[in-house]
Every structure is written in structure tokens, then in C-alpha cells.
Structure 1
């Protein structure tokens, strides 16, 4: 059943809240960018996309799930979920939350989320893409997050019956399996308030995913500006192979904050992802039959659940991009080392990192006093500290006599006040110095 249009009578009786919980690498970044850059226009149409910044929803997801990246923490995460909920509660219209990191939440955390959002009619939204594209995309995303699992090991773990025993498989299915994710998130909801949006095939109009999202949330697709979104490209094969080996070489010698800033966000997402004409990572043909079989099971389960589907469930079948076209050479195996191409990637990576070091040094040199040697700077600080200590001591010495004089003055005045009060009482009450009553004549 399509949702009510924001601002309609049916909509205004009780606010609707659309919770977009995934899947990762299914156009979520694109949708989140559209929503964030159009948040003022959304408000004009009675719709809230809350948050202090574009990362607010990610922090809220981490806070709700009480987790973060391995061996790392973020103080800004604490309280991020209640903060987002409070902003949503204060809004009287439609609210949209979007973050794929909500997907892996276990049942007890989902129950907490639903209780916190009990002021609204919650709709759960899940965007899903075929496994032929998702498996390679998710593997390279793991590599960007310092994993060292080879592609063959990754797929083998996904196919195992005991996949829960493998971290890479748990992360994948916890984020990517629409049947399992929606069974958890949609457990307390009527099926018409659980929405599945299939990703269009390659070559479809760029705005088609946005139009499908609007069909679920009741937004007018034409009312919003899509020009400020940016692409979130996956790494190419050689770039991923290089980064995988870099992760192996770094091991645990580099902490997550440094890795996140310099390797993931700068090197991987800015430098390597922007290299021209990268070789695409494709699912090898020997895995396509299994992926197709899994897709058929997924489609049947989603249809049986009675969820609201926008798009075509057959788009979840691995497409031709998952294997070579008839009569063409097969795509290179993802684990087959492409040393010459990796060397070329390495040159770009080293050059980019050295330039980054120089730019960082230039910014540091522009700081006032940066040219002073460290030892000289310490000596200057010691001298300034000594001067400050001497000045403070002199002020204390100058202040003490003033305080003492104020104390004596107060004491003297207090004694005079006591004598005046005693005399006043004798006159009014007829008492002698000993306090005994005297007769008035």
C-alpha cells in the first residue's frame, strides 16, 4: 500500500517515520546525500531529515548498537541515538532516518529502537541489489576497512552452512540479506509498512533509485535537487589488490584513527577510487549459479512475506555483469595478482601520500611560532612561567595588607555596634548593666 503524501489528512493524524536501514553499497550514500542537501526544502514540505551533520545518522546507529570499528572508539557517539530521536519527536510531520549501519542490530536493540520511536508510525525501508554486484562491492569495502581476507576466502565463507563462525560472512549477511534483516526490523510491523526497493540495472536513468525512494516515502521526486550528490565509486581490482597487501604489511602497527584518516578516507576513497579506467571486480562465473539460486530463494521469501515492493524483484537476479558475455574472455579472477598494475597503483599511492605529508608540513609551518626550535620554545615557556609566578606572588603580597585592614575595620565596627545595641536595649527595656530589670518612675 503506497504511503500517504506528507501534509495529507491521513498523514497528519499520526506522524510517519521512515527508517531506511540498508543495505550497504545499494545506493544508500546517494540517497543520504540527496536528503542532506535538500533538508531545508524537505522542511518546507513538512519532512524532517534530522541531524547536526551528515554523519549524525551513522553515530546514532553506532550508539543504538553500542559498537564501533574494531579497536577504536568515538566519544561523539555517546547519546547520538537519543539526540536524533528527540529531534524527530519534536517534529510534527514526516521524519526520514537513513543509515545502513542500523541493519545488523539484534532483536533486543530493535525493540528498544521501536519503543523509542513509538510516537510515530514506523516504516522500515530496505534498498537491495543483486548478489552479482553486491559481493564484489562488499569485499572491496571490507578491504577499505583494513580486512585482509582474499576474495575466494570471502565467498567461501558466505557459502558455508556455518557462516556465522566467520567474521567476514557475519558482517556481509548481517548487512545484506533482506530476508533476515527485515524479519528482525519488521517483526512488530504490518507487512505494508515494510518496504523493499530494488536497485535498477546498470544503465538505468540516474534518478530512478531516487524516484523509487520517493514512491515509498511520499515525496515528490521533482521537488528536490540531485545536482549536489557525489558518486561513491568502488575500488577497481588492482587498487583493491594493492590495498589488501598494504593492510597485510601494516598489520596492527597503525591505529584505527590514523588508518581511517590517511588510508581509508584519503588514499582509498580520494586517490585510488578516482584512478581512471579501473578494472572492475566481477563475481567469477563459477559462483554465478550459487548466487542465482540464493537470489531465487530471496525473491520467494520476500514475496511470501507480503512486503511492499517498489521496483522488480527479478532485478535481484545476478545480471550479465556478474559474468562475461558469451564469446568474450572471462574477467580476471579477483585473487590473481596483477603485479604490473599494482606497481602503477603503488606509484600513485606513494606520490599522493608524500604530497599529503608536504601539505601537512606547510600548514604546520604557517602556525605562528612554528619555526622556533622545540628546545627554544620550551625555554621560552619556562621563562614565561617564572615571570607569571613572580607576578602572582607580588599580587598576593600586595593584597594581604588590604585584607588585614578590612578585617580590623570590620572587627572594630562590629564591637561599636554591639555597644550601641546594648545601650539601646537599656533605654528601651530599663535594664542595668547586669541585665536586671529597673523600676521606672
Structure 2
């Protein structure tokens, strides 16, 4: 493996001879998808510069986060997550340079799982990175992301739960603050780390250069931003309000009748992220004006706590202050209340959704029809399967017989061909069993 040629300036004046592992643990909807695609598509360039972005595919870090936390989406499981964290750690340990791991699903990890992660990574200097965006944008973005994951909580109820003192009793609020609260997340992940190895990267305000977040991330990790190609990156765009309202009502209608994996493939990944996210929606989801003072007060508390902790801040904590909701004073139409149905726009969304799903069904049917033998009646196909199963069982039996140990087959052949050998073999077994009994009876060991 090549030696590490990249060393973060955040390590301080006395650079450690040990490699560094940069754990980017969130937050969700804070540019994480953008950063992860930059890292994945530049993994060869990273290796050339002594930095590893581990994993066999782009979802390896997702599986590792689920494996470390011993969890998965509610009501579902995925055997591919088992051992995924250990595989990532082993790959990082075998590398002689720095390592970057990035996945927002690490953020809610309980303290026990965080301690396990730190123990597993004890061969390196661990740095923790948290990218954070202002609540004015983050709350609407997180709500529509929940809807994309089959939640059916109206926006008003969602925000009300976030504001309650007993927010831990509400699932949607637990999920939000577990992923989004930088003070709480870094309180767990940064426990025991020097504050200079905990990096808070603030998201630029709207209108900033597209690559500014990447440049800030590079400041935290010690990468040279211009060494990498940003042309093939992928964003995770938020849905517009009509699209989210349509999907929320679809979730209500489906309930639990569709399994998670089918929902994930057909509704979330295809319908929501491929079809609906591509629509040019003129209606954005905004935090209503009545919630902005509370969000601002909460942001001030967060900024003060982060500053007091002494973490390395890349950007400006002032960027955590929510902007005021759109209104006539800004020369735009008033923000549309998120729970007020956009009926006409939802009808257009429904037409696009139905047509896309029908085309998907036809494409799958055409694919199934192209399979050899698909033109046969179902009864004939079942008969063929039965015949093939019988042939497979017969072949497997022959293979098992041929794979028997040579000595075992030789003993069987001798016993079959020579009755005296069979009698001698039987006497030897009786002698062995008799020896065992006498030894037990006399107490010998």
C-alpha cells in the first residue's frame, strides 16, 4: 500500500505518525449525498494521494452504519449488513494511509456503539466530521425525506413534536434530533476526542458557489480540493410541496400492505427520487413564519454550545441562523402552508406518477416476456421446473458420493468385497467400545 501523502492541518503542529480516520457522521440532508458521490467517483485519485475511501460499492458505508448500530429500517432486514462494519474496519486497517468514511446514518449511534467504533479504530487517530445546515432549511428537507421513507405525519404535527419538551416520546422527533442535533451527535461521537479532532462544517447559504461545501470538507480532511473531479457528482434534491403532499397521501393509502424492499425500490428510489424529484416544482417547502423565532432561538443555543466545546469550525456558525420565510416584503408570493393541499398541482403529480409506474410495469413485462421459455403455459413451466429439480437432486447426490473421502470409500469397498475384513472391522469397533466402558468403570482418565 502507498504511504500516506495527505495530512490534515487540523492535527495541529505536532503531526502524528499514525494514520487518520475521518468519520463523517452527518447530518442527513446537509450535502452528504453530494460529498459521498464526489468521494466515490474520485476514489482512484484519492488512492494515488494516499487516502482510502473504502468499500466495494457506494452503499458499503450505509451497510456498515446499520451493522454497527445493529438496526435496519422498521419491519425489514438485509443480510448484507452483517459484518459490513468489520469489513470496512479491516480494509481501513490494512491501508497504510488516511481513510475517509462518510454516512449520515452513523449519527444516531448510541454511546455503546460509538465506543465500539472507537475501539475498532484504535490503530488510527480518529477525527469526527459533522456537516450542519440551518433549521429553516433542514426541517422542511428532513420532513419530505421522512415522507420518502413511508412516513405519513403531516408537517404541522412534525414541527409540533420537534418543539415539545417530551419530544423523545414521538418517533418522528427522535429520528430528527438523533440525526440533526450537532451538539447531541458530537457529544456522543466526540466524547474522549481532543476538540481539535472534531470538525463542524457549516453549509453555505443559498447562492454560494457550488463547490464551496467541498472546499470546506477538504479543509477538515486535509485534501487539496482542486485535485478532484466534481463533474460526475449526484445531488439528493428535495421534493417540492405538491410532490411531497401526493407521496404522503400515497403512504396513507398503502399503509403496511407493501413490504419495505418493494416500497424502497418502486416508491422511494423510482417514483420519489427518479420521477417526482425531476419535476420542475414551483412550490418549495418552507418553514412557516410562526416557527422561525423558535428555530432561531434553538440555532443560537446550538451555536453557543458548539463554540463552547472548542471544536474546529470550518465556515461560520452564523450560517446556522434560519432565514425568514418568503413573503411579500421579499417581492415573492407568501410561502404556501405545507399542510394546505395543492390540489391542482397534486393532480399533475398524480398523472406523472401513474404514467411512470405504468411504463415501468410494461418494461418489466417486456423483460419477462423476453426470457427463454416465457411463452410456455404456466403448467408446462411448472413441469419443467419439477424435472429440472429432480435432475439437480440426482446430480447433487452423485457429486456428494464422489466427494466422499478416499479412505472412507476404500473401507466400504474392502468390507463389501471381503467378509473377513468386515468381521475384523466389527470386532475392532467392539473392542474400542469395550475399552471405553472399562475405563469409565475403573475411573481412569
Q: 1:265 aligns with which of 265, 269, 274?
A: 269
CA spacing shift, 1:13–1:409, aligned 2, 3 Å: closer
User: What is the rounded CA distance, in whole Å, between the counterparts of 1:162 and 1:356 in structure 2?
Assistant: 44
User: What is the rounded CA distance, in whole Å, between the counterparts of 1:306 and 1:391 in structure 2?
Assistant: 68
User: What is the rounded CA distance, in whole Å, between the counterparts of 1:223 and 1:317 in structure 2?
Assistant: 32
Q: Shift of the alpha carbon at 1:329?
A: 3.3
Q: Shift of the alpha carbon at 1:231?
A: 2.0
User: What is the rounded CA distance, in whole Å, between the counterparts of 1:104 and 1:389 in structure 2?
Assistant: 48
Q: 2:108 aligns with which of 104, 107, 112?
A: 104
Q: Are 1:324 and 2:315 an aligned pair?
A: no
Q: 1:168 aligns with which of 158, 172, 177?
A: 172
Q: Secondary structure at the residue paired with 1:52?
A: coil
Q: Are 1:24 and 2:28 an aligned pair?
A: yes
User: What is the rounded CA distance, in whole Å, between the counterparts of 2:270 and 2:191 in structure 1?
Assistant: 40
Q: Secondary structure at the residue paired with 2:129?
A: strand
Asked if the contact 2:8–2:220 (Cα under 8 Å) also holds between the matched residues in 1, the reply is no
Aligned to 2:183: 179
Q: Secondary structure at the residue paired with 1:13?
A: coil
Q: Are 1:47 and 2:44 an aligned pair?
A: no
Which ranges in structure 1 are unaligned for 5 or more consecutive residues?
Answer: 394-402, 415-441
User: What is the rounded CA distance, in whole Å, between the counterparts of 2:74 and 2:362 in structure 1?
Assistant: 30
Greater gyration radius: 1
Equivalent runs, 1:5-404 vs 2, <5 Å: 13-320=17-324, 322-324=325-327, 326=329, 328-382=332-386
Aligned to 2:401: none
Aligned to 2:440: none
User: What is the rounded CA distance, in whole Å, between the counterparts of 1:386 and 1:216 in structure 2?
Assistant: 61
CA spacing shift, 1:392–1:152, aligned 2, 3 Å: closer
CA spacing shift, 1:285–1:5, aligned 2, 3 Å: closer
TM-superposition CA deviations, 1:372-420 (whole Å, max 9, x none): 1111222344566788999999xxxxxxxxx9xx869964999xxxxxx
Q: Shift of the alpha carbon at 1:276?
A: 1.5
Aligned to 1:418: none
Asked if the contact 1:238–1:278 (Cα under 8 Å) also holds between the matched residues in 2, the reply is no
Asked if the contact 1:16–1:123 (Cα under 8 Å) also holds between the matched residues in 2, the reply is yes
* TM-score, normalising length: structure 2: 0.85
Asked if the contact 1:216–1:310 (Cα under 8 Å) also holds between the matched residues in 2, the reply is yes
Asked if the contact 1:3–1:216 (Cα under 8 Å) also holds between the matched residues in 2, the reply is no
Q: Shift of the alpha carbon at 1:115?
A: 0.5
User: What is the rounded CA distance, in whole Å, between the counterparts of 2:59 and 2:391 in structure 1?
Assistant: 46
Asked if the contact 1:46–1:94 (Cα under 8 Å) also holds between the matched residues in 2, the reply is yes
Asked if the contact 1:21–1:98 (Cα under 8 Å) also holds between the matched residues in 2, the reply is yes
* TM-score, normalising length: structure 1: 0.86
User: What is the rounded CA distance, in whole Å, between the counterparts of 2:208 and 2:20 in structure 1?
Assistant: 30
Count, aligned residues = 403
What stretches of structure 1 move > 2 A for 4+ residues in a row? 2-6, 8-12, 322-325, 378-393, 406-414
Q: Shift of the alpha carbon at 1:328?
A: 4.1
Aligned to 2:403: none
Which ranges in structure 2 are unaligned for 5 or more consecutive residues?
Answer: 1-5, 398-409, 422-445
Q: Report the aligned-residue RMSD.
A: 2.8
